[in-house]
Amino acid sequence: MIACIADNIISPMGLTTEENFSSVSNGMSMLRIHEDTFGLPEAFCASMLDRKLISDLFADHALSDNGYSLFEKLCILSATDAISSCALQAESEDVIFVISTTKGNVDMLGTDADYPGCRLAVSAEKIAGYFGNTNTPVVTSNACVSGVCAQIAAIRLLLGGKYRYAVVIGCDVLSRFIISGFQSFKALSPEPCRPFDIDRTGLNLGEAAGTMILENIGRTEFPGNGCLWEFAACSNHNDANHISGPSRTGEGAFRVLKDILGKTDRDDIAFVNLHGTATPYNDEMESIALHRAGLEDLPANGFKGYYGHTLGAAGIIETILSMKAIEAGIIPATKGYGAKGTSYSISASASSRVTDKNTFIKILSGFGGSNAGIAYRRRDVPLCATFRKGGEA
Residues paired with 45 in a beta bridge: 33
Of 209, 102, 98, 210, the closest CA to residue 154 belongs to: 98
Torsion of CA 58, 303, 241, 285, to 10 degrees: 180
Question: How many structural domains are present in the chain?
Answer: 2
**304 lies in the same domain as 207:** no
* Mean pLDDT of the residues in the chain: 93
Whether residues 157 and 287 share a domain: the answer is: no
Specify the pLDDT at position 393.
Answer: 35
Q: What is the DSSP letter of 108?
A: G
Q: What is the pLDDT of residue 112?
A: 72
User: How many angstroms separate the CA atoms of 15 and 208, rounded?
Assistant: 10
Kindly state the helix (H) or strand (E) to which residue 124 belongs, with its residue range: helix 120-130
Cα–Cα distance for residue pair 73/64, rounded to 1 Å: 12
Average pLDDT over residues 186-212: 97
Enclosing domain of residue 212: 2-216
Q: Does 382 score more than 80 pLDDT? A: no
pLDDT at 225: 60
The answer on 82 and 53 residing in a single domain is yes
Tell me the percentage of the chain whose pLDDT exceeds 90.
Answer: 84
| Res. 389 pLDDT band, cuts 50 70 90 | very low
Contact 45, 34 (CB under 8 A): yes
Q: Note whether 159 and 284 are same-domain residues.
A: no
Instruction: Examine the fold and report which residue of 167, 197, 216 is the final residue of a domain before the chain moves on.
Output: 216
pLDDT at 373: 98
Q: Tell me: pLDDT of 115 over 80.
A: no
pLDDT category of residue 241 using cuts at 50, 70 and 90: confident
Query: What is the model's pLDDT at position 386?
Result: 42
Q: What is the pLDDT of residues 325-369, one digit of tens each?
A: 999 999 999 999 999 999 999 999 999 999 999 999 999 999 888
Answer yes or no: is 259 within a domain: yes
Q: How far apart are CA 183 and CA 352, in angstroms?
A: 32
One domain, residues 50 and 196: yes
| Cβ neighbour number for residue 200 with a 10 Å cutoff | 23
Same domain flag for 239 and 337: yes
The pLDDT tens digits for 242-297 are 887 788 899 999 999 999 999 999 999 999 999 999 999 999 999 999 999 999 99
63 pLDDT above the threshold of 80: no
Instruction: State the pLDDT at residue 218.
Output: 73
21 located within any domain: yes
Verify that 32 and 176 share a domain, yes or no: yes
- pLDDT score recorded for residue 219: 61
Show the 3-state SS of 212-233. Answer: EEEEECCCCCECCCCEEEEEEE
Answer whether residue 384 shows pLDDT above 70.
no
At 107, which amino acid appears? D
User: Is the pLDDT assigned to residue 387 strictly greater than 50?
Assistant: no
Return the pLDDT at 385.
43
Q: Residue 9: what are its φ and ψ, rounded to 5°?
A: -130, 130
On whether both 163 and 292 belong to a single domain, the answer is no
Q: Are residues 291 and 204 in the same domain?
A: no
pLDDT for 240 equals 86
Whole-number pLDDT of residue 265 = 97
- The pTM score is 0.95
d(CA 65, CA 351): 43
DSSP per residue over 289-343, as a string? HHHHTT-TTSBEE--HHHH-B-GGGHHHHHHHHHHHHHHHTEE---TT--SB-SS
In this prediction, residue 117 carries a pLDDT of: 79
Residue 392 lies in a domain: no
Span 81-104, pLDDT tens digits: 999 999 999 999 999 999 999 999
Position 390 confidence tier, pLDDT thresholds 50, 70, 90: very low
User: CA–CA separation, 285 vs 275, rounded Å?
Assistant: 10
Last residue of a domain, one of 164, 192, 216: 216
Lowest model confidence (mean pLDDT) among 51-65, 116-130, 217-231, 259-273: 217-231
**Residue 227 — very low, low, confident or very high, per pLDDT cuts 50/70/90?**
confident
In-domain check, residue 184: yes
- Is residue 110 domain-shared with residue 12, that is, in the same domain? yes
Q: At 324, which CATH number?
A: 3.40.47.10
Identify the residue with better confidence: 65 or 17.
17
Residue 390 covered by a domain = no
Adjacent-strand bridge partners of 269: 359
Select from 216, 242, 269 the last residue of a domain. 216
First vs last C-alpha separation in the chain:
16
Please report the pLDDT score of residue 392 as a whole number: 42
- Is residue 389 one of the residues assigned to a domain? no
Confidence category of residue 161, pLDDT binned at 50, 70, 90: very high
Is residue 146 domain-shared with residue 13, that is, in the same domain?
Answer: yes
- Do the domain assignments include residue 385? no
The alpha helices in 160-268, defined as continuous H runs, are 176-184, 251-261
Same-domain status, 264 and 333: yes
Confidence of residue 391 (pLDDT cuts 50, 70, 90): very low
Residue 387 lies in a domain: no
